[in-house]
A and B are shown apart, each in its own frame.
Chain A
Amino acid sequence: MKKVVFWGTRGSLPVALTADNVRQKIIAALTAANGKSFRNSSALNDFVDTLPFATRGAFGGHSSCVEIVSGGHEHIICDMGSGARPLGQSKIATYGAPNPQTYHIFISHLHWDHLMGFPFFTPMYIPGNRIIIHGCHAQIEDAFRLQMKAPCFPVDYSQAGARIEFDIMTPGQTQYIAGLNVTPKLQLHAGDSYGYRFDSIERSVVYSTDSEHKLESAEQHASFVKFFAKADLVIFDAMYSLAEAVSVKADWGHSSNMVGVELCQAAKAKRLALFHHEPMHDDNQLSRLLAETRRLEEITRDGYDPLEVISAYDGLTVDL
């Protein structure tokens, strides 16, 4: 495995920057510039790079879609949220329509925010492409067909040009797929969700979203420590604060930054990516959450090796 590309990182519902959000970024940038002048565009770019991410960038608003670049010829994707649209366009731009490709798509669960990008995933309309949808839900094919049925969508699933296959996996059972050992794990979420661990000889990546962690369950804790063990990257549902996750939003099926840090520390994982961002949070809030999570990791390290904490954003590429 070479890298991970985040195409959609938002939880529950895609969101977009508002006019006011953009205005605030411009005000923050101009305030920071404080009357400076720039000799050329390079100097201007250098200045922009000094600005906080929440000012010079944005976390983005597409729902869950993550690509694992294995270095092989076949493509590996986790979930088909709205981020699948730019991902599909990127593949067409890179490989061209007449050049058949194989896509392995691993589906965490069948909720809409994790499937809604599929009808906009251009490779599915192109004859010659092969799409294998892997998941653990017995009704996965029905769910994919259902969202493209009238009156929900104008193009019926039967119009797909690609050859689409479904592979029902068994939790806990490792399968060798596209050069990787892939192990699904049952997670706590309405209607069940599944995390996936991808292992190559040199690297391990865990995709674990839409997963609630019941703190009282030592057994569940131990099973996730094992699932995350020594991973190079853990992509983790950190939608809520811990206080929310155990009180007003208990049983909503999501987790927190704090549990992510604790599990990764116990599992001796190398890097934690906060993921499935709360759609109500703006870029400043998500940046603050990242800074707080890094501080939490620092003050709770207690003899563990440092855990690198990042926050996923649409367009982020992580080298493994």
Chain B
Amino acid sequence: MILPLHESAGVVIANISGRIDHASAEAFNVALAPLLQNCTGGAKPLVLDFSGVDYISSVGLRSLMLASRQAKAQKGAFAIAGMQHSVQEVFTISRFSLIMPCYTSVAAACKVLGS
């Protein structure tokens, strides 16, 4: 689900793809855990490139909220970027767009969070 990382403008970017739902949320959490561990104050910001995600359920959104909360507690910078339109709509309807740092594209996220 999480492809090999790459870096751009001092930002760690993880490419996420597929569905994040009841069936896959646990695998998503497991894959995300080591990335989050390194998302601390002074470390490079972590951006999840969501352009390959075509569906996210309530369970997936909760995983993102916990991830964001952990990063914040560690004083790290964490964001979601490049959501497909339908996923963006789910974020809006669930009001997660109000509590999660979201950017329209990875480039936009890097521009704000990068060095």
Residue ranges of A at the interface with B (Cβ–Cβ < 8 Å): 215-216, 218, 221, 241-244, 246-247, 256-259, 262, 292-293, 295-296, 299-300, 302
| Residues of chain B lying within 8 A (CB to CB) of residue A302 | 55
**Does residue B22 face the partner (Cβ distance < 8 Å to A)?**
yes
Q: Indicate whether A259 sits within 8 Å of B86 (C-beta atoms), given known contacts A243-B95, A243-B96, A247-B99.
A: no
| Residues of chain B lying within 8 A (CB to CB) of residue A257 | 93
Q: Indicate whether A295 sits within 8 Å of B93 (C-beta atoms), given known contacts A221-B22, A243-B98.
A: yes
Q: Indicate whether A296 sits within 8 Å of B95 (C-beta atoms), given known contacts A242-B61, A246-B65.
A: no
Q: Is the CB of A259 within 8 A of B98?
A: no
Q: Can you identify 23 A-B contacts, CB atoms within 8 angstroms? A: A215-B62, A216-B59, A218-B22, A242-B58, A242-B95, A242-B96, A243-B61, A243-B65, A243-B98, A246-B62, A256-B94, A258-B90, A258-B94, A259-B58, A262-B57, A292-B93, A295-B93, A296-B89, A299-B86, A299-B89, A299-B90, A300-B55, A300-B90
Q: Which 3 pairs, one residue from A and one from B, show the smallest C-beta to C-beta distance?
A: A241-B95, A243-B95, A242-B94
| Residues of chain A lying within 8 A (CB to CB) of residue B89 | 295-296, 299
Residue of A nearest to B62 (CB): A215
A302 to chain B, nearest CB (A): 7
- Taking a contact as CB atoms closer than 8 A, the residue among B55, B57, B93, B95 that contacts A244 in the complex is B95
CA A295 to CA B92, docked complex, whole Å? 11
CA A302 to CA B57, docked complex, whole Å? 12
CA A293 to CA B98, docked complex, whole Å? 17
Chain A CB count within 10 A is highest, among B22, B93, B94, B96, for B93
B95 to chain A, nearest CB (A): 4
Residue of A nearest to B19 (CB): A302
Residue of B nearest to A291 (CB): B93
- Taking a contact as CB atoms closer than 8 A, the residue among A215, A244, A256, A296 that contacts B90 in the complex is A296
CA A242 to CA B57, docked complex, whole Å? 11
Q: Beyond the given A242-B58, A243-B99, A258-B94, please list 20 additional residue pairs across the A-B interface where CB-CB is below 8 A.
A: A215-B58, A215-B59, A215-B62, A216-B62, A218-B22, A241-B94, A242-B61, A242-B94, A243-B61, A243-B95, A243-B98, A256-B94, A258-B58, A262-B58, A293-B93, A295-B93, A296-B89, A296-B93, A299-B86, A300-B55
A172 to chain B, nearest CB (A): 23
A104 to chain B, nearest CB (A): 34
CA A295 to CA B93, docked complex, whole Å? 9
Chain B CB count within 10 A is highest, among A243, A258, A300, A302, for A243
CA A215 to CA B98, docked complex, whole Å? 19
| Residues of chain A lying within 8 A (CB to CB) of residue B96 | 242-243
B67 to chain A, nearest CB (A): 13
| Residues of chain B lying within 8 A (CB to CB) of residue A244 | 95
CA A216 to CA B63, docked complex, whole Å? 9
B8 to chain A, nearest CB (A): 29
CA A293 to CA B92, docked complex, whole Å? 11
